[in-house]
Amino acid sequence: TDPALLMDCADGVAVLRLNRPQALNAFTAELLATLRETLDRLGAEESVRAVVITGEGRAFCAGQDLSDPHVAPVPGEAPKDIGYLIEHFYAPMARALRACRVPTVCAVNGVAAGAGLSLALGCDLVVASEKASFVLGFNKIGLVPDAGSTWLLPRLVGRARAMELALLGDKLSATDALAWGLINRCVAPDALLEEAKALAVRLAVLPTRALVRTRQLLDEAQTLSFGEALKAEGVAQSELGFAHDYREGVEAFMQKRAPRYTDR
């Protein structure tokens, strides 16, 4: 059988494809572990400077595979501890994504449901096909949103819209998702991968370390006061000020040439 996660690399961009199309790319524990390990590994590979995540087939990802008897309830059997799955598979994947040492772009090719939506929103930039849609759906199976979506959603769209998505669980079209500020771009299905790759290539030639530090600062500032955020910016700026890429960036600007960034 095909591996559940496919990868190819070109121009400093690694493209990851969730590859369980027959199951709408639903997550298994194995797929979650592979995704986490892959994100960690790619972040440490010098030749990789950005990651694109997309799905094979008509869906992006339907969230947890509810037909997996190891996880989902089976009639007549005792309930399983799904907290274990969250702690050891979903949370580590979400953390690896948010801590990835290179920028991430999601190319949402079809429906993103449950933790599939969390995966998409956890990326730095999100491009969706006009055919894509977003649905939390946890409300319909008696669970709470997970894999980071309780944190991400209200920050992206505000509490009112986050509550609507979480409590009603309606499917949001890609055009509405764009209008709501949930995603960055909505493009024709045929243009999706090229658009996502083009954004990733742009990110790949920028100073990786500064980009990743920027993500970290924006995330951390959510719980800081204005004064604390100013301090955190100062710490990061001082660190980057000693690094190669700052010197290279200014030098290239003054010499009117393209910079060559290398810091990680």
Choose which of 7, 29, 33, 82 interacts with ligand T3D (CB under 6 A): 82
DSSP 129: E
Q: Chain-centre distance of CA 7, in angstroms?
A: 16
Between 10 and 49, how does the x/- string for binding to ligand T3D read (CB under 6 A)? -------------xx-x-----------------------
CB of 243 to ligand T3D, least distance (A): 39
Does position 146 interact with ligand T3D (CB under 6 A)? The reply is yes
Choose which of 13, 35, 71, 162 interacts with ligand T3D (CB under 6 A): 71
Cα–Cα distances (Å) from 170 to 136, 150, 175, in that order, read 8, 16, 14
User: 66-72 — which CB contacts under 8 Å span 24+ positions?
Assistant: 66/26, 66/141, 67/23, 67/26, 68/28, 68/29, 70/29, 71/29
Within the chain, what is the greatest distance between any pair of CA atoms? 72
Does position 135 interact with ligand T3D (CB under 6 A)? The reply is yes
Cα–Cα distances (Å) from 194 to 40, 64, 74, 87, 112, in that order, read 24, 28, 42, 35, 19
Choose which of 55, 103, 137, 249 interacts with ligand T3D (CB under 6 A): 137
Does position 174 interact with ligand T3D (CB under 6 A)? The reply is no
Task: Extract the tokens encoding 17.
Answer: 């494809």
Choose which of 14, 16, 62, 94 interacts with ligand T3D (CB under 6 A): 62
Does position 141 interact with ligand T3D (CB under 6 A)? The reply is yes
Give whichever of 25 and 38 is closer to ligand T3D, judged by the CB atom.
Answer: 25
Task: Extract the tokens encoding 169.
Answer: 């669980």
Binding footprint of ligand T3D on the chain (CB under 6 A) = 23-24, 26, 62-67, 71-72, 82, 85, 111, 113-115, 135, 137-138, 141, 143, 146
